[in-house]
Structure 1
């Protein structure tokens, strides 16, 4: 790789000034690739000799740094490649039969060399990234294999005499090591007392006691009072107070231990010999305090109304002591492991200490599971008694009992497996089961349960329509209250999903997959997948969602300006404004969606190809919806039916209230709404009474005896039409003689009103007046009478009219 890099640098250095502007960038990228390659080779050599988890973790960190360097260099080289391609495009290809000028030919040749150089460097960088990832996977596999070998290591069983004989044989040497270490500690204390700074240790001890007890209690009570008096919302009060108890219950004891240890250091009472134990003491106190505070925050033994877990007071009081037992065992385990390593006890003593810790942990876990079983039995008896008294079964407890029963059964199986492994001599495996599978799982699950609840409560309370930030968003930005609540729920879901990923990382850590390697794998997933030339990753999706949100916000602001400011200044009626605003709305939404898709790196040609492919499926599977959509666009554009029109479709008649791209809403006379697909308005006959003219027309038909003077009847009708307020003078009302039949004169009269909606009431009023006036004139009014005659049929000809 170094030789290739030298060649690349030599080629780069011969560029002309016109095209050598990015030579330094390319050279630096190549140099970084060389350094990353050397680092990968060094890690590959060191990986064969790595024997501890710490060494492998350090090598993995070095590989991660090398990968990051190679990735950064590749990005720089990709940028330079794009610039070179742009220059080559600018010069253009060689035209047949045309000889380039010498300077153009030289520049084209130099650009081709430069492109080949950068392309080679890019390929080697990508290959280096793959090699680094493969080496990291191999190191992780070696760590997992080492962990498996440690589990398979078998020591003498505590039930055999050989176990105790080995401890007795190694006892004198281990006691001697402990004595020498204790003598060194005493000498260090003597030197510190002689230095005269012993008062610093006493002062730090006083500070440690004050921080660990009264200060912690005072801060806890301060948080409780704040939660009661000032915290918003009942849910945030509970989860916020639980988080406060966890933070104060962890930080104050840890700070107290740190102050005590730091006082010992400053006073000179300790030396480098005990330094690992002092650091382990601080960490042990912090872990123990964290576990105890976590149990107290979740159980809330004396404050049942503040408890996050759905359990009773008796269960909380019974479980809290076991949480402190777990905290003490964890602290003792951490400090004892560091002490054994510092004093360099024999492997037999270390194995005996591990066996003792595993046995104590098994007893503690067994006691906890026995307590849980006793509580479950008591709760089941109480529920059955209440069910017998009420006569009905208590709902909602069956599933919970089954879940708890399954978890308890699995815990018992793991505990029994740990006990069998310990008695069989597999001490490391037994210690792993008790230390990791049960305790670590309980700690991680409890911690992230509290964090998930706290995040959900805080986010949904802040982004709530009833909160102060919600009021500011609603009034200042114009976001509707429902959208604020939805955003709070979505943000809470995203944050909780990220927290769940962190929990998975923490759970996988003890199984040989460290945090770095696990995060590396999640980082690989976060890089996304590549489809063709498009790379889709979670980051790109979030970016696209952000762009879509901005686009929709801009669209909403534009539509508000359009409806409130611009359209009222035009001469369009309400229906025209609605059509224009509806078309503008869909156009802006489509543009915002296209903008969001383009932010993913998908070009317009790919979007067009995708839409053309979708159109085939739409044509086959969504014909009706597509037909209605297109019909809606036609209605909005041609406006054969618009809002406010009085239309008749079949036997139904009503006013058009709303036109969308899929359907049209028509309000009928009984105030019900008829929803008509837009295709019905385009493909079928529709009577629009107000499309071209808003006037209404009424028609009255009647007959009078033939002996009545027709002009007299005509004058009566026209006078009544003229007297009716709803009937217009222009167009003028008319009365026609339509026919003469069966001794009666048939009249057909017409008049107009200002609206089709007033024609029917005006017709009723005019007809009433006509009937009353003709009755006063003693004129018989009616229609042509219908007569039914029975005619005999001729028997010979079957002719009803005779021969």
Structure 2
């Protein structure tokens, strides 16, 4: 009691400290829940008003395609905000529900409880109702925004289809060309007036936007020309220098530098040039056309390399490469000019007849170019035979041969569309095919460039290769895996970037991709199950990080802790393996938790596992449990010499399901762990490494047994690894048919030397017996031949007398 009184102040201080921690935590939770509910309600009101305004705007019949795209972008933004607000409510709602569950249900009639618990239950119920209402309202807004965006997207697609398949005059109709030529002076005059109005804008506002833009674009073009001039005059490299990385860089160098130069020019124009809106649209079109033409033509020349076959990336001869380069470059110029002309026509509101005639002409040119390209590539010969691997040349884009039929199909569709008056369809198909092909070729080149860069960077003579080998102490196998992982990551990145860019060239829009990204981040429902790709990716990342941490911990445990102790190597392996298993289980549990798996339903999971184990997984689970028993009891360890029904050898590895045994013939035998537990196993290293060797020998009957015994003992004592205690022994085992049989038995300090000790002992015995004149007999048989009766001796067939044939009687003649 005295001790309790003395500890009373300490107990009170401890209780006060707990209250100081718990009460603010409860207040903080209440405040967080109230704040989350209030914030969700305010966000709902704002988003509801914005979505209703967009609903009214979308009901307009005269809304344009660009306005539809903008409205869809706003709807996707509002939908993302509603999903984010709904996600912020989930955690406070889950916390409140957990607290209410802890309080339990209200007592039945006739029973009472503390008033504080009743008040707390009512407060939590009101808070849960408020949070659930806010979550449901935000969920409704998410659905409304998604429905409105889908309706706007459907209107966009319908307008696109109507625009593409809109009928006009056939290219065989002379009126199409007449109206287009008649509108040409209007095009020239309005383009001139566009420039004049820009200059007037500069004079009125005292700006120099036209001069800045013209100068910057001219300097950019001059820089591109200089790059081309240096490219054309570059001297050929030695054959040894034309490796894959150098060839790739020479192919894309001018294209990349031209792209960077024009990107810098565009940034500078946006910073220094002040322009009216119409002129800004024109400059944007010119800049996009120059960027596409300069980078793509340079890339095409880097691939075909006319005049430089040692750097050519495609297996075409000189004539085929030159024709292909010229045709593709001409198509790029036509498409780039069309971008500028379409922009001028849209800005200056030119007659529709001019746009139709120009697009018909561009579609005809592109169709002819595509058909000529297919014919030229098909007829051209190869630079090298397909089976000429001796030169070490690597050619790319061989997969394009499978696209020849698709190319001719595109030509056929364009011709039919032009003849039937669907000029927009023909122009759209040919230009989109050109842009898509250029984009795919660029992505493939980047893929090969990164692949060559990774291989070159991980080479033993490179800086990165030396750093990974010398500083981080990675082996060639680990570096190879690292390079494979890096290449796979870059390929996945290019794929994720390239797919949206390619699909954007056709019917999809950025609003569609934003909707997909939002769905991927916040998840989607399949029945009552919510699938969140972001949570799955997070779980995969947690699992990978956990596995890497487990690997690092196991390595640290082995090298820094266990290696410094005197523990047996098998015990160290068991500890390291157990730590690895524990880390893997922990990483898997954390990954499942981050994925949102509710462990309250663990009984269901265990039941399902029980059914699976009962039907088909019992052998796997049996081996797994047996592996755990092997690690815990350690009847065998890594490094033990064992003999099983599957073979005899050294234990190399104890895995989850099986154990690897390497025989003395260097053959790996995989033995299930359950076999090592349920069957008899001979372990020469269990407990200690001592062993015994036995050598049998026979001497002639004329030898002295005592002398033989002494000689055998001396020979055994002079052998290496033979232990002095227990002493070697000699047994007189038998009176044999031909010899007196003895057996030498000697204990050795390491059973691994048993065969070598036995061989050495035999050598010494043979030499000692020879020196002492003791004979080692070999089996002998005495053959006694008795005289046999003459009639019993068989006579060879060659010496037998020939049998006489009986005389043949002639028939008697009849006399008349």
Q: How does 1:22-421 map to 2 (within 5 A)?
A: 22-49=33-60, 51-89=63-101, 91-96=103-108, 97-157=110-170, 159-160=172-173, 205=214, 208-214=217-223, 217-218=226-227, 221=230, 234-252=243-261, 276-345=281-350, 349-379=351-381, 402-420=401-419
Shift of 1:251: 5.0
Q: Distance in 1 between matches of 2:360 and 2:601?
A: 62
Contact 1:212 1:252 survives alignment (8 Å) = no
Identify if the C-alpha distance between structure 1 residues 62 and 641 changes in structure 2 by more than 3 Å, giving closer, same or farther.
closer
Match of 1:663? 659
Identify if the C-alpha distance between structure 1 residues 607 and 228 changes in structure 2 by more than 3 Å, giving closer, same or farther.
farther
Shift of 1:71: 0.8
Shift of 1:678: 4.7
Q: Secondary structure at the match of 1:556?
A: helix
Q: Distance in 2 between matches of 1:334 and 1:666?
A: 70
Q: Deviations over 1:466-502 (max 9, x none)?
A: 6433443444444444333333333333333343344
Instruction: Determine if the alignment matches structure 1 residue 574 to structure 2 residue 572.
Output: no
Shift of 1:42: 1.8
Q: Secondary structure at the match of 1:379?
A: coil
Structure 1, unaligned stretches of length 5 or more?
Answer: 1-14, 390-394, 790-803
How high is the TM-score relative to the length of structure 1?
0.77
Match of 2:438? 443
Q: Distance in 1 between matches of 2:730 and 2:514?
A: 93
Q: Distance in 1 between matches of 2:636 and 2:57?
A: 81
Q: Deviations over 1:144-165 (max 9, x none)?
A: 1112222343234454576578
RMSD (Å), alpha carbons? 5.0
Contact 1:261 1:278 survives alignment (8 Å) = no
Q: How does 1:348-747 map to 2 (within 5 A)?
A: 349-379=351-381, 402-420=401-419, 424-436=420-432, 438-459=433-454, 461-462=456-457, 467-525=462-520, 527-528=522-523, 537-602=532-597, 613=608, 617=612, 621=616, 628-642=623-637, 645-649=640-644, 659-660=654-655, 662-668=658-664, 677-692=672-687, 694-698=690-694, 700=696, 728-734=723-729
**Count of equivalent residues:** 745
Match of 1:4? none
Shift of 1:60: 0.4
Shift of 1:139: 1.1
Q: Deviations over 1:491-548 (max 9, x none)?
A: 3333333433443333333544212213423542454556899855443344333323
Q: Secondary structure at the match of 1:513?
A: coil
Identify if the C-alpha distance between structure 1 residues 788 and 576 changes in structure 2 by more than 3 Å, giving closer, same or farther.
farther
Contact 2:639 2:650 survives alignment (8 Å) = yes
Q: Secondary structure at the match of 1:665?
A: strand
Match of 1:796? none
Identify if the C-alpha distance between structure 1 residues 222 and 329 changes in structure 2 by more than 3 Å, giving closer, same or farther.
closer
Shift of 1:642: 4.2
Shift of 1:302: 4.9
Identify if the C-alpha distance between structure 1 residues 92 and 233 changes in structure 2 by more than 3 Å, giving closer, same or farther.
farther
Q: Distance in 2 between matches of 1:713 and 1:27?
A: 105
Contact 1:299 1:307 survives alignment (8 Å) = yes
Identify if the C-alpha distance between structure 1 residues 569 and 413 changes in structure 2 by more than 3 Å, giving closer, same or farther.
same
Shift of 1:366: 0.8
Q: Distance in 2 between matches of 1:713 and 1:162?
A: 126
Shift of 1:64: 0.8
User: Which segment drifts farther, 105-114 or 626-635?
Assistant: 626-635
Structure 2, unaligned stretches of length 5 or more?
Answer: 1-25, 389-393, 785-816
Q: Secondary structure at the match of 1:84?
A: helix
How high is the TM-score relative to the length of structure 2?
0.76
Identify if the C-alpha distance between structure 1 residues 482 and 593 changes in structure 2 by more than 3 Å, giving closer, same or farther.
farther
User: Which segment drifts farther, 475-484 or 79-88?
Assistant: 475-484
Contact 2:314 2:396 survives alignment (8 Å) = no
User: Which segment drifts farther, 43-52 or 111-120?
Assistant: 43-52
Q: Distance in 1 between matches of 2:673 and 2:744?
A: 37
Shift of 1:751: 4.6
Match of 1:764? 762
User: Which segment drifts farther, 642-651 or 150-159?
Assistant: 642-651
Q: Deviations over 1:94-142 (max 9, x none)?
A: 3445434444433322321221121111112112212211221111111
Shift of 1:704: 8.1
Q: Secondary structure at the match of 1:67?
A: helix
Q: Distance in 1 between matches of 2:672 and 2:557?
A: 28
Shift of 1:418: 3.1
Q: Secondary structure at the match of 1:147?
A: helix
Q: Secondary structure at the match of 2:440?
A: helix
Identify if the C-alpha distance between structure 1 residues 782 and 587 changes in structure 2 by more than 3 Å, giving closer, same or farther.
farther
